[in-house]
Amino acid sequence: MSDTAVSGPKAPAARNFFSVLQLDTRLLGMIGAFVVLCLVFNFVTDGRFLTPRNIFNLSIQTVSVAIMATGMVFVIVTRNIDLSVGSLLATCSAVMAMTQTSILPDMLGLGLGHPLIPWISILAGLVAGVAIGAFNGWLIGYQGIPAFIVTLGGLLVWRYVAWYLTNGQTIGPLDQVFQIFGGTNGTLGVTWSWILGGIAALAAAVSIFSARRRKISHEFPVKPLWAECLVALLAVVAILGFVAILNAYEIPERALQRDFRALGMEMPEGFTASYGLPVSVVVLIAVAIVMTIVARRTRLGRYIFAAGGNPDATELSGVNTRLLTVKVFAIMGALCAISAVVASARLTNHTNDIGTLDELRVIAAAVIGGTALSGGVGTIYGAILGALIMQSLQSGMAMVGVDAPLQNIVVGAVLVFAVWIDIQYRKRTGD
């Protein structure tokens, strides 16, 4: 087979350009909507929306919801729903906050600033998240209680478990190392950002051409070589462009002077430094890679999508769908714990209202990203893009001066509209 072979008859070039690239039309639609949204907000805010500073803030604000949205893809793909993710995040946050400010110092004698404190507290949060998620999955899979009811109850139960764990108090400030995962308190700087960006760009290009070679070796149809090169170029430009924008956001002079004074040094004349990639964004990238590998390259991922597409046939083929449900909700719990690390570290403390309404944002992100509520269809990158669209919408409205209640009205309306679009799209495509 020729290296440039394309299946099917050749159509007119102008009409067939995107089909030759074999890009997901839903993905293109989401990217187009995101670009339009950014341009509109940039216009109404007199150019303040697309500044490096706002893009930096937007990226760290998106991370927590985006991490949970990747897990919500698996939940919805298996024809379930999880309304408790915001409350579960709050419980995990409370567990980690109490572990590092009370339990470890008081019970184990580990003083504040001990190097083990942040890691033990993160482990405690992960254990709590996985245990609660697995318990939800057990109730759904083995006891036959509908996921809507289990997680609706969990929305109330775990929110107030978090309240009782902390006696309703704000707990903080959290450990300094722990705060690195929050955003502005933890960034890679210019040099390491470029290094990581270069590695990511190279990995993206290698992945695209490796997939091409695998298809050719199995005699599957492939895109023309120019189309592969164009897609690889777009991926590299997007990655390096994002890094360049974040590297353009300079640390304020007052913050630099404070850091130099803390070191007992005088800041050199004209010295400047930039934030670079936030550590929280790096965590999101790592989660996205792992979840994508699980979805596409593992038996667990194949079982998840098979169970969502046809549960009866999957069970008849020997798959334990009840245990599969436990695993899916345990993964969701682990991701809620990771999101709790990012969210509480960004705030530098645990608060009672942390994660409030996150269930709405997470479900909306997954649905806007193309996850079908009927099950069997969804992508990790779509959910992350959906989270970015949701956060851009909220941030843009906040910059324009829209009140918070109206912001939630718009978010709810967008969720309903996204589901309607999904229904119309599947009617047209026959999915």
Which of 16-30, 42-56, 180-194 is predicted with the least confidence, judged by mean pLDDT?
16-30
pLDDT tens for residues 92-103? Answer: 999 999 999 888
Residue type, 68: M
Alpha carbon of 10 to those of 18, 226, 406: distances in Å? Answer: 13, 16, 49
- Strand partners for 350: 171
- Strand partners for 250: 274
How confident is the model over 385-401, as a mean pLDDT?
Answer: 90
What length is written for the chain? 431
pLDDT(13) > 50:
no
Alpha carbon of 227 to those of 17, 21, 32, 231: distances in Å? Answer: 9, 5, 20, 6
pLDDT score for 334? 97
Which of 89-98, 108-117, 197-206, 397-406 is predicted with the least confidence, judged by mean pLDDT?
108-117
**Residue 286 CB neighbour total at 10 angstroms:** 12
Burial degree of 403 (CB within 10 A; 0-12, 13-18, 19+): exposed
How confident is the model over 327-352, as a mean pLDDT?
Answer: 95
248 vs 223, more confident = 248
Which of 239-243, 268-272, 322-326 is predicted with the least confidence, judged by mean pLDDT?
268-272
Whole-number average pLDDT of the chain: 87
Residue 391 and residue 308: Cα distance in Å, rounded? 28
Please state the pTM of the whole predicted model.
0.90
Using DSSP, state whether 278 is helix, strand or coil. strand
- Strand partners for 274: 250
Peptide bond into 173 cis (omega under 30): yes
Exposure letters 99-118 (e unless 16+ CB within 10 A, then b): bbbebbeeeeebeeebeebb
Residue 223 and residue 18: Cα distance in Å, rounded? 11
Distance of alpha carbon 36 from the chain centroid:
21
pLDDT(11) > 60:
no
- pLDDT band for 270, please (50, 70, 90 cuts): confident
